[in-house]
Amino acid sequence: MNTGNARPRPTAPPLAELRRRTSEKWRTYPDDVLPLFVAEMDYPLAPVVAEAMIEQIRTDDLGYAGSAGAAGEAFAGFAHRRWGWTVAPDDVHPTTDVSVVLVEALRVAIEPGDPVIITPPVYPPFFDIVPEAGGRTVEVPLVDLGSSWRLDLGGIRDAFVAGARAIILCHPHNPLGLPHPRTDLEALASLAAAHGAVVISDEIHAPLVHPGVEFVPFLAVNDTAREVGIAAHSASKAFNLAGAKCAFTVVGSNPMRALVDRQPEEVAFRTSILGRAGAAAAFGDGDEWLDEVLATIGESFDLLETLVAQRLPSVTMRRPHASYLAWLDFRATGLGDDPADPILEQGRVALHRGPAFGEQGKGFARLNVACSPEVLTEAIDRIAAVVDVAR
C-alpha cells in the first residue's frame, strides 16, 4: 500500500446524518431505536465506487447491462489478488443479487420436488430460496464443536444418499463468520460428485474475511469442485452496494457452464448497469479502501469483546473470522428463545432475530458491528440494562 496516498480510514457519520438515509436499515424502526440488525455498514461509500457510479450517470449510460463487461475482468483480478483463484472473465455472469444467483442456479440444477440441503443456523432467506426454486428443504445443521463449528459431512452424505440433488453452501457462513476449511470443501466436492449433486456456494462475505484468515473459494479447491460447483459473488456486502443490484454467477467447468447457459437471458438483463459500474470499480480499484474497512471492523470486534466481557458476562460470543456480524448467545440471560424481541421493546436496539436462522438460533441474536464506537457502546449499554432486569 502506498501510505503517502492513503485515504483516512472510513468512519461512520453521526447518527443524525445516518438517519437521513432511506434504506431498510434506517426506515424500519423509529428514531429512538439503534438499528444493528440488517447486514449494511454505516461507513461512507468507497470514493472510487461512488465516482464510477456518478460517471455512469454523467455519460447518460443507463441502458441494459446484459453482460458483465469490465466487471467480469475486475472480479477476476480481485479473486486472483485476494485469494489466488484464477477465474476466466467469461465465466462471470451478472444478475441482480446473490439470492437470485442461488434461485436461478437451483432452477436449472434440480427437478421439481428434489431435496436441497441447507446448513442451519444459516442466512434466513435460504429457507425460502429452496421452495422458490421448486425444491424441498433438507436441514443438516452445522456441528457445534464448542469453540467453532464444522459442516456435518456425515449428515450431508446421508442426505445425498437419500436423494438430495444440491446443497447451498454459505461460505463464509452467515451468521457465524465461518470460512469453511479446505479439507471440508474437498470432502464436500467429493460427496457431491459421487452422488450427482451440485454445490451452490454463496460467497458474498468472502471479501470481508479478516486479515490473517485463509479463505478458499469453493471453485478454487480442485477440479472436482469445479465440476460440481457454482459460486455466487457480489460487491454488495463488502462495499455496501446491496441496493445497486449487481451480483455474479461464477463457474469453472463445462458441465456448470452448460447449466448456466440454460438460464433465461433475463437473468442477466435485470442487472443494474449502475451496480455493474460500482462493482467494477470496487473489485478493480477498491482494495485499499477495503483493507481500511477491515481494520475498522477489527477494532469494532475488539471493542465488542471488551464490552460484552464487562457489561454482559452472561452472554457469550465466538469472534468471527469474516464479515461484521456477531452471533451472540443469550441463552443464559433469561430472555427466552427470541432475545431480540425484549431487547427491541425494552432497550430500543434492533438485532436480527436468532430463530430466523433456524431452530439452532433459539436463544441467539445477530448484531452488526459496522457502526461507530459510540453507537456500539450505547447499544451494549442498552442491552445490558435489559439483561439486568431479566436477571
Among 258, 285, 312, where does a domain finish? Answer: 285
By DSSP bridging, strand 198-202 and strand 229-233 are parallel
Same domain, yes or no: 229 and 296: no
pLDDT given at position 1? 38
Same domain, yes or no: 72 and 173: yes
Same domain, yes or no: 151 and 260: yes
Burial of 352 (0-12, 13-18, 19+ CB in 10 A): buried
Phi and psi angles of residue 107, each rounded to the nearest 5 degrees, phi first = -55, -35
3-state secondary structure at position 77: helix
Q: Supply the CATH number for residue 113's domain.
A: 3.40.640.10
Same domain, yes or no: 247 and 134: yes
**Do residues 192 and 167 make contact, with C-beta atoms less than 8 angstroms apart?**
yes
pLDDT given at position 6? 52
| Ranges under pLDDT 70 in the chain | 1-7
Same domain, yes or no: 250 and 117: yes
pLDDT given at position 7? 59
Angle at 363 between CA 313 and CA 117, to 5 degrees: 130
Same domain, yes or no: 27 and 96: no
Same domain, yes or no: 17 and 80: no
Radius of gyration of the chain (CA): 21
Angle at 163 between CA 106 and CA 148, to 5 degrees: 75
Same domain, yes or no: 101 and 214: yes
Q: Supply the CATH number for residue 351's domain.
A: 3.90.1150.10
Among 250, 285, 320, where does a domain finish? Answer: 285
Same domain, yes or no: 94 and 216: yes
Same domain, yes or no: 305 and 281: no
DSSP 191-256: HHHHTT-EEEEE-TTGGGBPTT-----GGGS-HHHHHHEEEEE-STTTTT-GGG--EEEE--SHHH
The grid coordinates of residue 104 equal 436461478
pLDDT digits (tens, 9 = 90+) for 63-98: 999 899 999 999 999 999 999 999 999 999 999 999
Closest-CA residue to 298 (of 203, 212, 202): 212
- What is the domain range of residue 27? 3-45+287-390
DSSP 317-336: E---SBSSEEEEE-TTTT--
Buried b (16+ CB within 10 A) or exposed e, 229-252: bbbbbbbbbbbbbbebbbbbbbbb
Among 269, 285, 301, where does a domain finish? Answer: 285
Same domain, yes or no: 258 and 353: no
Same domain, yes or no: 89 and 137: yes
Helices 153-161 and 182-194, packing angle to 10 deg? 10
pLDDT digits (tens, 9 = 90+) for 317-350: 999 999 999 999 999 999 999 999 999 999 999 9
Number of domains in the chain: 2
